[in-house]
Structure 1
Amino acid sequence: MSTHPDFEGLYRDVIPSVVSVYVGGRRRPGGAGSAFVYDDHHLVTNEHVSRLADASKSNRVELRFADGSWRVGDVVGSDVYTDLAVVAVDDVPADATPLRLATENPSPGRPVAALGNPLGLEGSISAGIVSGANRSLHTSNGFAIPDVVQTDAPINPGNSGGPLVGFVGDTDDGPPYEVVGVNRAKQGDNIGFAVSPVIANRILPDLVADGHYRHSYLRTRTLDVTPSVAEANGLDTPRGILVVGTASGPDSTDILRGCSGTTRLRGWEIPVGGDVIVAIEGNEVRTHEELMRYLITETRPGEPVAIDVLRDGAPATLVVELDERPSGDRDRDTRGGGGSRIPIE
């Protein structure tokens, strides 16, 4: 990779495949969002962008390509839990070629560019680096998207759904750029987020083929085991995630067991008595984000999974058959693998 990233070259090569998205025939400040070409007949955007089309009861969006031409697309697939959506469109301009989606998540420090339609300013590019990886980003439905990419490249309203593009250096099988995230949100100065390519690669093929993605559902509410949680639960070391509650009830002996009460420690009410998940299918679980990432990328509803836990301080292995998460579920108390946080020191 060059010491000085060629953002001019990146813009020239990538911008024909970046699309501005409008809903209801209105070109308004901020627009509806952005998208990029995924294959010869589909674009990728955010679910919350496509939701505007659904609200208009048309399920259609108007698309403006970089060459100035317009198309009308149909939202054919969406997933509220990862904020991804797919738009089908005929007759994509010849120079709007599909952008390659990275197979691995980018590392912090990698130069990137966010392209799209911020504040209605079509064909914009902003640059920065990957600031962090493996973040968890909470959505309006109470679900947390795992594995999110953090960047300091400016992302503003209207950028949503556009590509976060990274350099790959010299390559013999295509351009030296790849999409390393689907831009989603801004939180504070110099902090933006994008859905990771690992998550996108898992979700998008199903959205194209079936219109939806079937999420595995563990029916648990969890809390990371911090030193305070470990102390309150009589654990020697802070390790794994505590099952605060389950949809199946606290008295079941053949599935995960939730907490039976709370104890007060240094001013905080901390749940106690639940199983502590330490691994799934032999893969160590240190945070609820790791559990969620594994459920999304490695499992399907109906599959049995082996979950290693500490129950009353003793190791045990439980086999749990995964459910399918209900479409549009908003029950924060039974979210699979994740959970609302309580303040912990």
Structure 2
Amino acid sequence: MDKIISPDNSDSSDSSDSSDFSENKQDIQPSHEKSSIDISITQIAVSLAVIISLITFCTVIYMSAGGLIDTQPTQLDITPNHSSESSAESVYSASKPSVVTIYTQTNAGLRSQGTGFVYNNNGYIITNHHVISGNVQQLYVKYEDNTWANAEIVGTDIYVDLAVIDPDRPETPAPLPIAVDSPNVGESIYVIGSPHGLEYTLTSGVISGLNRTSPTSTQFVVPDMVQIEASLNNGNSGGPVLNKNGEVVGVARAREGENIGFAVSTDMIRAVVPNLIAEKQASHPFIGINSIEMTPYIAKANNINYTPGIGITHVVNETNAIEVLTPGNGQITYNNQQMLLVGDIITHVDGIQITNNERLATVLIQNHSPGDTVELTIVSGDTTRTVEIELTDRPNVNNLGVKP
């Protein structure tokens, strides 16, 4: 709850120095011609003047105070504030019907695998790729009202760990809204899921980091992850991470340690899910290189000046990169360490600064598709140049060994 701080109402009085007129003093004697009646009249008049002044002063103060509240309402938030408990309760009760528990039938039997949530008016459900992957014979979705539905896979993306499934249910709960704006570090969040099969468990925390990466079963990482400080366990995967307005700010994916979890960002949802629904498969733009993040240490080992960017170590055959980019192709020994040789250094893609592979993957996935042409800014020794390259699709995950 926001803390409302009242304005400081403590009185302050100005102490003016008394003026010294001793140089011009005159002995002024009171007039003895004044009658006592005159003195009384004078005293009454003075008293009335003082009273009128006080009334006027108080009226002005009162009107001024009223005017400040009316004309500058933004200085004081007078709207009722909900406590964190009531916010959690309202988000939970409003979102719960749109959250599902996903069960899989395998040779080992029926088991709860994870969580999902309704994405659109067709009833499609978003979850993680790893929730529905493997030797799955049948998918089932269980709703909050205890009804069950068979489900089919619409599309999956192993690279960002997202999947879309279609339940066989004629009537579907309302989809959860996807937040338009990215969350801020420190923002309160709520996670609904089925950890260890405990359906519709609510956990809460805050956004504790942005632009993180998380490993996958491929040699690529999931970029642009949202780091959360909320309890995640087996079964939370695929569940919605919600802000105080009940908007999805991420898809719960993995727990990396005590009070450290990661969620797929809404930017990735927007970049990937529509393609999964339309094309039934994922495609990701690919330059065709293996690269490492440049550091002063790596630059010194390669006997080159340090330039922030990614150093190309290998180029993949049968990609356009082989024609325009120069890799290091080899290893060196530096301070008794085996290190990769770097060739060209990529510093920008279409004018966007690139400092590591994760940033490159984020920029490519969110802004481009296979077949697009991008402009790379390349540093080679003391020379800087720009080259254009057509992006291809990432290779099959079984034939990896390269980075973006």
Partner of 1:179: 248
TM-score, L = length of structure 1: 0.87
Aligned positions of 1:25-104 closer than 5 A? 26-28=109-111, 31-40=112-121, 41-52=123-134, 55-56=135-136, 58=137, 60-91=138-169, 96-104=173-181
Contact conserved, 1:245 with 1:333, CA < 8 A, in 2?
A: no
Answer with 1 or 2: which has the greater Rg. Answer: 2
Q: Any idea what SS the aligned residue of 1:68 has?
A: coil
Q: CA distance change for structure 1 residues 27 and 333 in 2, over 3 Å: closer, same or farther?
A: closer
Distance in structure 1 (CA, Å) of the matches to 2:170 and 2:333: 61
Aligned positions of 1:244-263 closer than 5 A? 244-248=313-317, 254-263=323-332
TM-score, L = length of structure 2: 0.74
Distance in structure 2 (CA, Å) of the matches to 1:247 and 1:35: 37
Aligned positions of 1:228-267 closer than 5 A? 228-248=297-317, 254-267=323-336
Distance in structure 2 (CA, Å) of the matches to 1:104 and 1:332: 34
Q: Any idea what SS the aligned residue of 2:227 has?
A: strand
User: Greater strand share, 1 or 2?
Assistant: 1
Contact conserved, 1:18 with 1:66, CA < 8 A, in 2?
A: yes
| Pair 1:165-2:247 in alignment | no
1:84-130 deviation line (CA, Å, top 9, x unaligned): 10011243655x21011123432211111111111000011111111
Aligned positions of 1:309-320 closer than 5 A? 309-320=378-389
Partner of 2:41: none
Q: CA distance change for structure 1 residues 79 and 253 in 2, over 3 Å: closer, same or farther?
A: closer
Pick aligned residue for 1:12 from 93, 97, 101: 93
- Residue 230 (structure 1) shift: 2.1
Q: Which moved more, 1:259-268 or 1:194-203?
A: 259-268
| Pair 1:217-2:286 in alignment | yes
Distance in structure 1 (CA, Å) of the matches to 2:203 and 2:110: 22
User: Greater helix share, 1 or 2?
Assistant: 2
Residue type matched to 2:88 in 1?
F
- Residue 188 (structure 1) shift: 1.6
Contact conserved, 1:228 with 1:265, CA < 8 A, in 2?
A: no
Unaligned runs of at least 5 residues, structure 1: 168-175, 338-345
Partner of 1:194: 263
Q: Percent identity?
A: 32
- Residue 313 (structure 1) shift: 3.1
- Residue 255 (structure 1) shift: 1.7
* Number of residues of Structure 1 aligned to a counterpart in Structure 2: 319
Unaligned runs of at least 5 residues, structure 2: 4-82
Contact conserved, 1:303 with 1:321, CA < 8 A, in 2?
A: yes
- Residue 326 (structure 1) shift: 3.0
Q: CA distance change for structure 1 residues 131 and 301 in 2, over 3 Å: closer, same or farther?
A: same
Q: Any idea what SS the aligned residue of 2:164 has?
A: strand
Q: CA distance change for structure 1 residues 17 and 271 in 2, over 3 Å: closer, same or farther?
A: same
Higher RCO (C-alpha 8 Å, min separation 6) = 1
Contact conserved, 1:27 with 1:120, CA < 8 A, in 2?
A: no
